[in-house]
Amino acid sequence: MDQVKIGKFIAQKRKERGLTQMQLAEKLGMTDRAVSKWETGKSLPDASIMLELCGLLKITVNDLLSGEVISMENYNEKTEKNLIEMVRQKEQSDKRLLTMEIVIGIISTVFLFAMIAVGTVLMTMGAQIWIFFLLFGLGIVQFIVAMMFCLRIEQVAGYYECRKCGHKYVPTYKSVNMAMHMGRTRYMKCPECGKKSWQRKVVSKD
Ligand SMILES: [Zn+2]
């Protein structure tokens, strides 16, 4: 610790608060000689009065011991803001993903039925049966791939909320895949309380 730096810092903060050495000393129940010793770097304020001194100078003990105002609070505030922004962005991208899931689901279903319809029409026009099965197979394969993709979106976007304890979590792909479901609401076991319930999909964690 740099006692001289700390001393200068105490003097600077004392002046900023419009106090003389005498006035500060009186508030602390000390002599102005003691304050003078701190400010010239000859001694450090005793630990027993450090909190009170910092309170009067409107600084933290960390500031005092560093001999300068350290921007920890600003840092925390900024970190907090960044975190909030990150959460907000995740929520937005999750919402987009869940919308995309619906779009993919619709397109893929339409494509499947279109393949069946085209195959049927071609058959009535005299095409061979393998053409029907080729188109039908194509429709089924893309449908399965699309459903797997949708399930993956449903697993990672947002959270599932336990009906029993309110716990919100991201389930495993397997548990989402195996669960009975009605739309996005799935019957799954909560990892927190271990109870099974119909769990809702939620985008926000709070
Ligand atoms: Zn639970």
Ligand 1 centre from 142 Cα, in Å? 36
Strand, coil or helix: 172? coil
The DSSP secondary-structure symbol of 196 reads E
Ligand 1 centre from 159 Cα, in Å? 13
The DSSP secondary-structure symbol of 110 reads H
Ligand 1 centre from 201 Cα, in Å? 14
Ion ligand 1, residues whose Cβ is below 5 A away = 162, 164-165, 167, 190, 192-193
Please list, in sequence order, all residues whose beta carbon lies within 8 angstroms of the beta carbon of residue 150, skipping any fewer than 6 positions away. Answer: 101, 104, 105
- Segments of the chain with pLDDT less than 50: none
Task: Say whether pTM exceeds 0.85.
Answer: no
CA pair distance 165, 92, nearest whole angstrom: 26
Please list, in sequence order, all residues whose beta carbon lies within 8 angstroms of the beta carbon of residue 78, skipping any fewer than 6 positions away. Answer: none
Cβ atoms 8, 67 nearer than 8 A: yes
Cα dihedral across residues 137, 138, 139, 141: positive or negative? positive
